[in-house]
Amino acid sequence: MAIVLMVLIVLEIKNRSMHLFFVFLVVCSVFVSCDRKTKSITKMYNNAVDMKEEGGVYKIIDLDRTATMTSNQYTDLVKEIRYIPLKMGSIPIGAINDIFINDKYIVLLDAQKSKSIFVYDWQGKVKCIISAKGHGRGEYLEPASVEIDAQTGFLCVKDDRRCKFLYYDMNGKFMKEEKTIASVYSMHLGERVVNQLAVGQTYDREVNFNVAFSQKDSVISKGFPYCSIQLDNIMPNKMEFNYKHELLYFPFASDTIYHILNHNNYIAKYVFKNQRSLWKYKNEKLSFDETVKKVKMQALNRVSSFHETENFIFYSVYYFDKTNNRIMNRPFLYDKVKEKSYNVMDIPKGEVKLFAPMDLLCVYKKWCVGFFNPYVLKRKMGRDYFFKDIQLASIVNSSCGESNPVLVFYKMQ
């Protein structure tokens, strides 16, 4: 039970915190610039090029037919694993709202509690912490995303409240800032920036797009118009890269995973076959509470996360669990070679070989990247489980309530 139990705990905590984080960002974003020339911004969006979907062959993932896999069978698929306890710095990590990884650094954003950016090496040692909330030079109001700029090597922080990128060197020294557009999430792709937008960020509530490409504070293209069901459901799925560094985008409640090719084009890469999909109501304007009610009353579901490795896809499904009388997120594993989805079963009490969270933060090259709170794991596992891995046992048993999260990097067969 240990692995899947903790995955569900991590899923619940992560999704609640991310939901609240995005709600806060959206509220701030919509009201931050009331004095702007809203008509000119709306006109800029209207004049921007419309992104187009290219034809192509996509893979079907059948959600209506899933097999079962024991936890031992799942852990047998893990060929290499690394636990990276994040050393304590001057500020504890309250939440992980964004992550950026390259071969040298791991950058984490805690946008909820400390409003800080943490830079670690691959051994979990703190390289620097940027905690610069304020109105002054080199300070931000609401950090929304983090990355390392490929051209300059600077750490780049998106300030959603002021529509700016702030750049710091890897020691935390402020270097420069530049204007950008309002969005809840963004990342650089060469000279352009791809943005995820909230309702109203085009400054015309009747015309809304999920995605826009920009250069500085100019919009050059937009795509994925909001469907009715998406208008009042502020739970966006953050776009991310897969193992081949392809940018994948998964619109809220949609059954389709898209590969964004460039600022003009995208293709469908995967489509979920799902008879109970919430997406059948895409043209109905439902509030968040109405959406939850439909999920409960009609036994509907939606795919809520998606991460692609070379041979496997990790995804989770948002559904109503009648036994527990609550909305749950359940992780699944899709084998791309066998073309089959698996519901990974709980393991019996006793020995735990390893801990490889199925709910991932991201995929970096061949690495699946997850995390866990060692103290929560310590309390939940109790005396019913023991860890075979000496390092894992030491990390968990020595943890306390103030311990930082532990990152888990693992490779699948």
Query: Could you give the residue ranges of the DSSP H alpha helices within 210-302?
Result: 288-297
Residues 309 and 229: their CA atoms lie apart, in Å, by 30
User: Which phi and psi (to 5°) does residue 19 adopt?
Assistant: -60, -50
Whether 37 has a pLDDT exceeding 80, the answer reads: no
The pLDDT, as a whole number, for residue 347 is 67
Query: What are the CA-CA distances from residue 354 to residues 78, 81, 148, 226, 236 (Å)?
Result: 9, 8, 31, 42, 31
Q: Tens digit of pLDDT for each residue in 39-52?
A: 788 889 999 999 99
The pLDDT, as a whole number, for residue 345 is 85
Question: Is the CB of residue 140 less than 8 Å from the CB of residue 152?
Answer: no
| Average per-residue pLDDT for the chain | 89
Whether 28 has a pLDDT exceeding 70, the answer reads: no
The pLDDT, as a whole number, for residue 283 is 95
Q: Tens digit of pLDDT for each residue in 303-361?
A: 999 999 999 999 999 999 988 899 999 999 999 999 999 999 876 788 888 999 999 99
The residues facing 315 across adjacent strands are 306, 332
Whether 4 has a pLDDT exceeding 50, the answer reads: no
Q: Mean pLDDT lowest for which of 116-125, 234-243, 291-300?
A: 234-243
Question: What share of the chain has pLDDT > 90, as a percent?
Answer: 73
Mean pLDDT within 54-81: 95
Residues 75 and 164: their CA atoms lie apart, in Å, by 43
Whether 12 has a pLDDT exceeding 50, the answer reads: no
Whether 53 has a pLDDT exceeding 90, the answer reads: yes
Three-state secondary-structure class, residue 102:
coil
The pLDDT, as a whole number, for residue 288 is 85
pTM of the model: 0.89
Q: Tens digit of pLDDT for each residue in 140-162?
A: 999 999 999 998 999 999 999 99
Three-state secondary-structure class, residue 291:
helix
Which residue would you say has higher pLDDT here, 7 or 247? 247
Give the angle subtended at the CA of 407 by the CAs of 123 and 24, to the nearest 5°. Answer: 125
Whether 33 has a pLDDT exceeding 80, the answer reads: no
Whether 69 has a pLDDT exceeding 50, the answer reads: yes
Which residue would you say has higher pLDDT here, 22 or 148? 148
Mean pLDDT within 230-241: 83
Q: Tens digit of pLDDT for each residue in 171-183?
A: 999 999 999 999 9
Instruction: Give residue limits of the domains in the chain.
Output: 2-412
Write out the two tokens for 317. Answer: 């499904």
Residues 228 and 215: their CA atoms lie apart, in Å, by 29
**Sheet bearing 367-372, strands edge to edge:** 78-85, 406-412, 367-372, 362-364
Q: Mean pLDDT lowest for which of 73-82, 240-249, 316-325?
A: 316-325
Whether 226 has a pLDDT exceeding 60, the answer reads: yes
CB-based burial, 47-86: b 16+ in 10 Å, e otherwise: ebeebeeeeeeeeebebeebeebebeebbebbeebebbbb
Residues 140 and 160: their CA atoms lie apart, in Å, by 9
Whether 201 has a pLDDT exceeding 70, the answer reads: yes
Question: Nearest Cα to 278, choosing from 262, 297, 265, 260?
Answer: 297
The pLDDT, as a whole number, for residue 126 is 97
The residues facing 308 across adjacent strands are 313
The pLDDT, as a whole number, for residue 85 is 98
Which residue would you say has higher pLDDT here, 386 or 273? 273
Beta-carbon contacts of 378 under 8 Å, excluding residues fewer than 6 positions away, are 396, 397, 399
Residues 125 and 404: their CA atoms lie apart, in Å, by 12
Hey, what CATH topology would domain 2-412 get? Methylamine Dehydrogenase; Chain H (2.130.10)
Whether 257 has a pLDDT exceeding 50, the answer reads: yes
Mean pLDDT within 71-93: 95
pLDDT band at 386 (very low <50, low <70, confident <90, very high): confident
